[in-house]
Amino acid sequence: MRKGIIFIIVLIIIAGIFWILYGSKKNNIQLPSLEDELITYNNASADLIKVELPFPGAVTGKSFSVIGEARGTWFFEASFPIQLFDKDGELLATAIAQAQEDWMTEEFVPFRADITAPESYIGEATLVLKKDNPSGLPNKDASISFKITVEY
C-alpha cells in the first residue's frame, strides 16, 4: 500500500514536470521578460520588432548603433526612422534604420542604424523606433521606445 502511494506521487511529479517543460509551450504561454516591461509599445509588440542593441537601460557613447530585427511590414523601401530624445522630450538626433536583407516579407528582417547624439549631451535619453508610415494615417503609426543613458 505504501509503495503504491509513493508510486502515484512520483507519477504526479513527473507529469507536472512534463507539463511545465512541454505543455506550456504547446499552449503558447509566454512569460513577459524584464526587457519587455522596460519597452513602451505604441500600436506594436515584440512580435513586430526586437532591438538587440542598445538594450533598455543601456549606457552608450555619443555615437552608437541600433541593431535588431523587425517584420518586413515595419519597413518602407527597406528603412524606417529612429529618433533620440533628451530627458525633456527635445529631439537630439535622428537616424534611418536600413534593412540588412530583403525587406519585402512578413518575416523578421535584420536592421541597423548609426545614430550620434550632440557632443555636449550627457544624460538620460529615450530611443524611439518608428514604423515607417508613408500613408501618414495616424491609425497606421506604430513605435517602440525605451530609456538609455548617453554618457561618453
Which triple of cell numbers denotes residue 117? Answer: 547624439
State which amino acid sits at residue 79. S
Residue of 68, 118, 71, 112 lying closest to 92 (CA atoms):
118
Report d(CA 46, CA 115) in Å as an integer: 22
Angstrom distances, CA of residue 9 to CA of 15, 37, 43: 10, 38, 47
pLDDT of residue 11: 61
Percent above pLDDT 90 for the chain: 74
Check whether 100 has a pLDDT greater than 50: yes
Which triple of cell numbers denotes residue 115? Answer: 545614430
pLDDT of residue 1: 67
Check whether 58 has a pLDDT greater than 90: yes
Give residue for cell 555615437.
Answer: 63
Check whether 18 has a pLDDT greater than 80: no
Residue 69, C-beta contacts closer than 8 angstroms, at least 6 positions apart = 49, 50, 52, 108, 109, 110, 111
